[in-house]
Chains A and B, each alone.
Chain A
Amino acid sequence: MSFLSLQIFFPFLCGMLLLFLPSSKQKYIWNITIGIAAVTFLMSLMLWTQFDFLIPTIFQWEERFDWIQKYGVYYHIGVDGLGLVMVTLSSFLTLIALYLSRNSIQKRVKEFAFSMLMLETAMIGTFCALDLFLFYVFWEIVLLPMCILIGVYGGEKRMYATKKFFVYTLFGSLFMLVGLIALYNINMTNHGMVSSSLVDMTLMKVPASQQFWLLIAFLLAFLIKVPVFPFHTWLPLAHVEAPMAGSVILAGVLLKMGAYGILRFAIPLFPDAMIQIAPWMIALSVVGIVFGAMMAYAQSDIKKLIAYSSVSHMGFVTLGIFSLHPTALTGAMFQLVAHGLSTGALFLMIGYIYDQKHTREMSQYGGIASVMPRYTVIFFVTTLAAIGLPGLCGFVGEFLILMGAFQSHVISSPVVIIGIAVSGVVLGAVYMLKLFEHMFLGPVTNEKNQKLKDYKWGQLIAMGALVICMVYLGIRPNSLLQILKIQHVQPVEISVVKEVRRVQ
């Protein structure tokens, strides 16, 4: 068992042991859980020290052995630059979310801790899996603890939200399963060999004529998870009803899994069909950017506002991916991290204030800057990062995406597309600043808000770590950009050029 396998299963195994503790000892359970999450995070940092940064596109810590022989299913894991970053992001956000949930979760703490740790295992596993079958298994396992988090610890309409989240995402992923099996069979007839390992499948090229429907089946799962515009309806509901930690993981990691799936699997496996479908997906992304921003502007519920802003920001990610241009792809990957950090931080802060006031209505707050100065500073920096102010992480990703999209070969009228997308950025500034103004500026309108407690030192350090990351990535994006490369950007680019030449 390699270090990476240990990294994947460590949280889950520790969580299993946790279940044997008596549930009355809440304090110990919290301490131990946070300890486990911290160790997992340190382990992911260990991966960085051993990672060979000269070859970020090569899978490292590869481990491969037979799982279900007859069907060519392998237990095949490994990380490249993208995987490494996502693993670190997952463990980082889990640690911080757990640490800050300590005061807000009072009932059934043991189950909460177990769900979070199981979720962490499933997320890290998803980002490390290099076998489609294994990927699918981890991908589905993510659903179960997430349902427990929303369903047990959520708000009033939690049952409806859980059901919708569960059925919606399962709907997509079952079609991915069909696509996966069909892909197997096509490989079997064309090459006489079955293997669900990504490496083998990439080598066995699928004929262009068969790629289209396979891609549709895969994309259905990924697009629902991202979520791209017409498939987004589960997201605001799930976000609003989820507890703080659930929202953070949902926005910070789970949405990224969809984009990650496209990058890792759809692009290398179906390069030709990607080109075919890209214009349509770009149209959807752009619609999503503007729609999400406008919906966010119309919300009075803070969590809903952030949820819709996620739809808008994830629209940028899909725009970057489907531009199929190296710059845009790198930008999209960077945006994944940036959005994970900024939105994660926003949900953490909203969760903190919700625990004290039990309302998410924007109008209930106002002028709390004078009551909670530390909180306000962190919120302000995060808002700016979400808007995409230069010098903070949000800017780099959006800028690279737009730049890459401008040069992309699959977009026929870049000026129009980029123009609409940029209007999404402007709208983003409008709704985020509106939120900030309504919550923090002016006199304290509601007397009860005078009693709000500011962050204590421990919480401040946790949030400060997030802010430092945002600033650092904004100032020195190169530290991340140099490893955010995926193996298959090059072939796609070449085939795009070929395609364009053929058309001309």
Chain B
Amino acid sequence: MAQHFRLPAGGRVDRSKPVSFTFNGSKIEGYRGDTLASALLANGVHFVGRSFKYHRPRGIISHGSDEPSALLSVSRGPGRTDPNNRASVVELREGLVTTSQNHWPSLNFDVGAVNDLFSPVFVAGFYYKTFMWPRSFWDKVYEPFIRAAAGLGVAPTEPDADRYANRHAHCDVLVVGMGPTGLAAALAASETGKRVIAVDEQSEPGGSLLHASDETIDGKPAADWLKETLAQLDARENVILLPRTTVFGYYNHNHVAMTERVTDHVIDPKGAPRERLWQVRAGHVVIAAGSLERPLVFADNDRPGVLLAESVRAFVNRYGVLPGRKIVFATSGASAYQAAIDAKAAGADVTVSDLRLEAGCGPELAKARAAGVEVLTAHTVIGTVGHKRVKGLIVAPVMGSGTIGPRRTLECDCVGMSGGWTPTVHLFSQSRGKLAYDEALDAFIPGTSAQAETTVGAARGDYNLAACLASGYAAGSKAAGGSAEWRFETSATLVGFQPVRVMPTDANPAKVRAFIDFQNDVTAKDIKLAVREGFQSIEHVKRYTTTGMATDQGKTSNMNALGVVAGQLDKPLPSVGTTTFRPPYTPTTFGALVGPARDALFDPIRTTPIHDWAVEHGAKFEPVSLWRRAWYFPKPGEDMHAAVARECKAVRDGVGVFDGSTLGKIEVVGPDAAEFMNRMYVNPWLKLEPGRCRYGLMLKEDGYILDDGVVARVAPDRFHVTTTTGGAARVLNHMEDYLQTEWPDLDVFLTSITEEWAVIAVQGPKARETIEPLVSDIDLSPEAFPHMAMREGRICGAPTRLFRVSFTGELGFEINVPADYGRAVWEAIYDSGKKFGITPYGTETMHVLRAEKGYIIVGQETDGTVTPDDVGLAGMIAKAKVDFVGKRSLGRPDLVASGRKQLVGLFADDPSLVLEEGAQIVADPNQPIPMKMLGHVTSSYDSPNVGRSIALAVVADGRARMGQTLFVTTPGGFARASVVDPVFFDAKGERINA
């Protein structure tokens, strides 16, 4: 395909650099500097996709990021495919593979287009009204059907092959938009030496100046002024210019998020990222985001070949492309006349059809007529001719009485429509600024700012070039703390339009398909129906009809939709209000948001000093908060069940070794350390002797268990506190909070020492014999070193805090050594224990062994609503203490009431049945639904040492139910289980003191 619609000269494309790409398999050529849209139009391709709901043929409507219809899937190679790219935004690059979307089997012949014939049934709320009954169809029939029939492009299935970067930046002034207003603002702001960042979403800065024709600024052609201004800005050290960068979010305290498209337009990125997420904290933000042209609402206004008028001008002037040879401009305002004049100058056959009366027009009328453009004033548009491409525009005069005169079809292959302009207030609105309605402009414009922000130029409804430049300059200077002004001399701008909601027509309104939201296929009729059905709030109309809810967020459609609602309700437009603008301004890739935080960097992973040894010995791991913990150590051929059973037996029969390094550890130090501990824990601490340990139980102020762990008093003023693995940070925060805010008078300081110490638990009857040869300076005999004692000494020559403690119920030691010695000491213990068959075990075995002993795990037996008494630990509470955190709450009426859930053991009648953790417990399985639930299973295992399955549960008044039979839910129905003591093994606790 040759570029038949490319003008022989003109435009900003580089004609010396042809670029080829494919569209639906056909090879197409354009030039460097083209977008996909301009290259397609240069080759006469208007029909590029099917619409969302009705599968109607759709073309390119816009030249900018507001494009609602021309959405293409674009591939830059394997793993580099994404859907829903706006053709008017994607820069042309050699080798792009592009395809149209939302059709089957092909763009030209689409089965789904039958929806268009049935459009009378696809009215607003169609899905809500239709897919209701039977309920069983919701998941299996309706949803798959709706998903298959509707929707945009197909999500890629391959991992993203690209790299994404992120960057934080600070500046004094951030200028959003580099059209004339923004450039003037950047010039003025940077005069003062302040740090300025100026960004623009397009491939080159300039905004509307990029498609200027006869405009002049300070006596120079606009293009020359643009070039000089950019050179001037570029030369300033304090200015960063970022083209291809979209500000998509404006958050609190001038925190602005933007994406820079770094390399999509180049063939060899040379290692540079695809996109960069910028998070900018700006002293002041100048929003010069311009304005969006409104389409006109008339029958079949969505035919390929119908564009926005200013976009026709942009394609002609900026890209040197004539979107049609016979172009009709349908307008209700002045700006389209300039587009008509430029298209005429480029060689098109041009007619203007203006809704306004001749007397209502400004100088544009004479200017167009002088240029040889035929103008029909006081003409409405009734509809279009053509299906996959517009072939004619049906217009008719509007008589003085308001009636419609005789129709006439203007033959054409392109229509440029203009219903006026809407300021781009999205970012202002995101900044939580208040919008104000300006009747003369027929638009919401920025009213009261909520942050250090100024909106200027077309973004606040100023469409005159000289005024935009002057106000931009003044705003830029002021934002930088100055007060400079500059009077720009420019050519006159054609401004002014007559607001129109729906073009007057003599057609039967029930049959007219006049699109308001092109992307979500919402017509004026749909919105009127919604209002008739009782939806009055614009927020409800929006959700019911889905107008403005597509990926373009209604950039082109919002004002028309609001206007129709207001008209239908017979209310002034401002009283209808506007919907909320939310980030992102334009669709943002997940890649940019995720940045480098993927794969191994997705979430930090904590490993212990012994981790690699476990990996080398075949351990399976489980995540516990950010830690990876050895779960079990299967031998060849063993499954988890077999491995855990072997490990459990080995600990009780000989000796096992376990990596407890993840245990949270806090050192509490200072003259008031004991007093602080006394206030934080339920237990008494003042009389605990150095060298002794105590099981500590910590409550929240509401009386519920927060954490537990063994605490050793190392010295009178020093405690070595351990916490649960997942609770370490929570406990430290809890302690710090009280220390800093309630008792700042206590002389105590807290240090997290979790990472300082590796912890090796050696458990089992042979534990002492295993470590004895390695330990010096400590007498390990039971008399000298009883259960719940702690000694400082050396193991393998390394300093150790050696705890005699046990979470298994066996004779046990927890050996703390500085983390760097962890692996060496572990290996020495492993070697020493080999003659006793030492067995490394993981968290699963640890869980089973402690459950055999009825030891709770905070977060498993407790859930934030469990008191010490509920889990049988009331005995831990120091009765004599007047106060500790949570004590007063233990007297709250519902914490002392009967009927609380208490920790018990459960034996299923079937000893091989391992109940499900979380399963509900009832007294009578035959009671009517909803049943009274007594509690639930908290822990459940197959116990090789007990010789059957065991479970822990919390059950209402559980301790009074010993021996009772209860019923537990299982996937196959209720299972019988009897309530037993929660200590299943060595109930007398003799082994621990061996």
Co-assembled chains A and B:
no
Interface residues of chain A, those whose CB is within 8 Å of chain B, are none
Interface residues of chain B, those whose CB is within 8 Å of chain A, are none
